[in-house]
Amino acid sequence: MQSLSDSPPVLPAKLAYCATHEQRLAWVRAALLGGRTVTDVGLWLGGVDDPKALVRQIMREGVRILTFRKKVRDAADECGTVMAWRLWEG
């Protein structure tokens, strides 16, 4: 029988609800491993002070991540790019 302490931690539904660095790290790792693409702006809006450092920390754990630039349009319909990451599928 598995005890409650053996269960994986329950992560908040949104990154912004994570209270600690460890929760944010686990949330982003789970998002990437779940096939999501995360962006620097999205991570920053979710409370991550240094998105690149957080992704590098996950990469040091052995998770292979692809870094790329993603084209976006802002609220004024201006084109721009953001840094984005997703799981490496190669």
Q: What is the pLDDT of residue 8?
A: 64
What's the pTM? 0.85
Contact 84, 40 (CB under 8 A): yes
The packing angle between helices 51-60 and 21-33, to 10°, is 70
The β-bridge relationship of strands 79-87 and 38-39 is: antiparallel
Q: Model confidence over 34-51: pLDDT tens digits?
A: 999 999 999 999 999 999
The CA-CA-CA angle for residues 57, 8, 20, to 5°, reads 50
Domain ranges in the chain? 15-87
Cα–Cα distance for residue pair 46/48, rounded to 1 Å: 6
